[in-house]
Amino acid sequence: MRTKYDLRGKDPLFTGIVYLILIAALVCLLFPFLYVVSSSFATEHEILNRGFFLLPKEWTIEAYGYLLSNANFLGAFENSVVITVCGTAINIVLTSLMAYGLSKTWLKGRRLLNFLVLFTMIFSGGIIPTYLVIRELGLINSYWALYLNMAIAPFNLIVMRSFFQSIPNELEEAARIDGCSELRLFLRIIIPLSMPSIATFTLFYAVFNWNTYFYAILFINDSADWPLQVYLRQMLVVSSSGMEAESGDFRYTPAVKMAAVIITALPLLVVYPFLQKHFNKGMMLGSVKG
Amino acid sequence: MRQEAGLNVSRVGGRRGEAWKEWRRGFPLYLMILPGLLFFLIFRYIPMGGILIAFQDFNPFGGFFKSEWVGFAHFARLFGEPDFWSLLRNTMVLSALNLFLFFPAPILIAVVLNEVRRQWFRKVVQTVIYMPHFLSWVVVVGITVILFSTQEGAVNKALVNSGMSPLEVMTDPDFFRWTYLIQNIWKEAGWNAIIFLAALASINPTLYEAAVVDGANRWRQIWHVTLPALRSVIIILFILRLGHVMDIGFEHIYLMQNSLNLSVSDVFDTYVYRTGVLQGEFSYTTAVGLFKSCVGLVLIILANKLSKKFGEEGVY
């Protein structure tokens, strides 16, 4: 259906402007990132003395070697992996179960439940009451504070619900006639059918969990339990504002800071291109209301 | 039994039997909903009840039931505080930047990308413009520091080396708002283009053909076909953003904030975090948060009305 562009007429000036805008956008997006990548492989001498460059004269992987042998950094990385894996598992299980339940239009009380979900998107108790509830539950300094406080993103729940609603009813009827229970139906038929959508939401939740900073500093006080984002922030701020003396930390070299930025960003950047084709679909469903 | 219940409920039994059957049929579904429901009740609705402490002098040791009620005292304090107007102004300025300068960026990207004929180029551009969305604010602000910190930033070193004075992006308050805007565009404009691209993918190509027959060049095709196709998405999203004027990205602002730019970077959320969590003024800051939430709620309801007025479906 698409690529009937030829019929739309040729206009070299127009095409030129289109490509110019997009290439300018690509350069602006990639440039800062490439600078960080390339200087993470540069020697300290070069970073300190040469202003701005995209190719180091002398390559070294010293910075990565240093980070990968630094127990604190590895510990923070491990914390982030734990938080992301457990958090995302809880997110996706709770979200898909609830979304499936709410996708049944005949279910009694569905309207009330939908309203309860929707209302949390437009009104909230705010930071302090949430913090106090977590504290009362004794979850401060526990990863359960992170897992449970953000267990379901209402927007994802609603999109997933519309997705489940779009699965043809006949399929279920047939399965039920064959004596399939509701749970089996969900696990054996609905989930396999929804894999692309579930993979996309797993990625969205994983992005949130991996990148979370605020909730970690809010709920986790013990620096040994900090996730990578908090540790990275500490590395960048401590060593660029002259606070190192009071914190007792030594000074990180610029290359080490840049390598830390890259390692923090890398896991998600490696994954997202594989799921990219599903994004469009997921967002489209978002505009469908149930 | 179960198969039968699944098939046709209305045929079997009287009204009570019918209701019972429906509950029975729904039972496994209620079980599936239960964990999620508990989450919403405990971690969303109990805190909503917790806003009552905004009207108390909350005593962390006595707890909710032993604290004294003080009525609207905390609100009176908030509105009397000189900080209040600066918080409101900063929030409004950053929101206005988002509404009027960030908002058009994804539309521009989508429209331009829609004009690209070569599929591989389109794919490459899409992959690259989505990339920054997957970086955390810590990383994005970190990259900004690496490039622009006054002493060590690469750009500033290059400027100094060539005899110019450095840009104090991180510390000069005059830079804060523009840096905030540019970072926002850098990180999220490409990602936000997705929804517009999806709307453009559903345009019927015959519309363009018809436009060509009518003598429209490529510019006029954008004006008469592409943009009208985006109209309702644009209106809905703009109104949605209008409703979220008070939410301007806590993490982002908090990470960019320092004692030098506080006069322009302090917003309600950062103020609540500093005064509430770090200094322990729970009741007062709950009142601040409640004020923010209420303004947000009113804005969303107005925005929804507005959307219906425009002949669009409501947002909810």
- Reported as a single tens digit per residue, the pLDDT across A179-208 is 778 788 888 888 988 888 899 899 999 999
Q: At what angle do helices A110-122 and A71-102 cross, to 10 degrees?
A: 140
> Distance of CA B94 to CAs A248, B173, B206, B266, Å?
37, 13, 41, 11
> What Rg value do the Cα atoms of chain A yield, rounded?
24
Q: In this structure, are B124 and B226 located in the same domain?
A: yes
Instruction: Quote the domain boundaries for residue B226.
Output: 72-309
A33-64 pLDDT, tens digit per residue, is 999 999 899 888 888 777 677 888 888 898 99
Structurally, chain B folds into a number of domains equal to 2
Token code pair at residue B115: 């004009």
pLDDT surpassing 70 at residue B148: yes
Closest residue, chain A, to B295 (C-alpha): A123
- Percent helix, strand, coil in chain B (nearest 5)? 75, 0, 25
**Whether the Cβ atoms of residue A258 and residue B176 lie closer than 8 Å to each other:** no
**Which residues of chain B neighbour A133 with C-beta distances below 8 Å?**
42-43, 46-47, 50
Q: Residue B34 falls within a domain, yes or no?
A: yes
Mutation target vs B (from A128, A209, A241; most B CBs, 10 A cutoff) = A128
Q: Cα separation of A244 and A248, whole Å?
A: 6
Q: In this structure, are B3 and B140 located in the same domain?
A: no
Q: In this structure, are B136 and B241 located in the same domain?
A: yes
Q: Residue B58 falls within a domain, yes or no?
A: no
Q: In this structure, are B34 and B157 located in the same domain?
A: no
Closest residue, chain A, to B199 (C-alpha): A284
Q: In this structure, are B11 and B131 located in the same domain?
A: no
In percent, the amount of chain B with pLDDT more than 90 equals: 49
Q: Residue B203 falls within a domain, yes or no?
A: yes
Predicted local distance difference test score (pLDDT) of residue A243? 43
Q: In this structure, are B86 and B48 located in the same domain?
A: no
Q: Which of B180, B255, B144, B179 lies closest to A35 in space, CA to CA?
A: B144
Q: In this structure, are B3 and B94 located in the same domain?
A: no
- Rounded to 5°, the CA angle A139-A144-A149 comes to 90
Q: B63-102 burial, b if ≥16 CB within 10 A, otherwise e?
A: eeeebeebeebbbeebeeeeebebbbebbebbbebbeeeb
Q: Residue B81 falls within a domain, yes or no?
A: yes
Q: In this structure, are B107 and B24 located in the same domain?
A: no
Q: Residue B123 falls within a domain, yes or no?
A: yes
Q: In this structure, are B93 and B230 located in the same domain?
A: yes
Highest mean pLDDT among A180-184, B19-23, B39-43: B39-43
CB contact under 8 A, B28 and A157: no
CB contact under 8 A, A133 and B161: no
Q: In this structure, are B38 and B148 located in the same domain?
A: no
**Stronger pLDDT, B203 or A280, i.e. the higher one:** B203
Entry field: residues in chain B: 316
Q: How far is B112 from chain A (nearest CA, A)?
A: 6
Helix (H) or strand (E) holding B68: strand B68-69
End-to-end CA distance of chain B: 39
Helix (H) or strand (E) holding B57: strand B56-57
Q: In this structure, are B42 and B135 located in the same domain?
A: no
Residue type, A63: A
Q: In this structure, are B46 and B187 located in the same domain?
A: no
Q: Can you tell me which residue has the tokens 């551009």?
A: B125
Q: Residue B57 falls within a domain, yes or no?
A: no
Give the up-direction half-sphere exposure of residue B250: CA atoms within 13 A in the CB hemisphere.
17
What is the model's pTM? Answer: 0.89
CATH number at residue B77: 1.10.3720.10
CB contact under 8 A, A8 and B208: yes
Instruction: Tell me the average pLDDT across B183-208.
Output: 91
Q: Residue B315 falls within a domain, yes or no?
A: no
Token code pair at residue B24: 């029975």
**Whether the Cβ atoms of residue A41 and residue A57 lie closer than 8 Å to each other:** no
Q: Residue B222 falls within a domain, yes or no?
A: yes
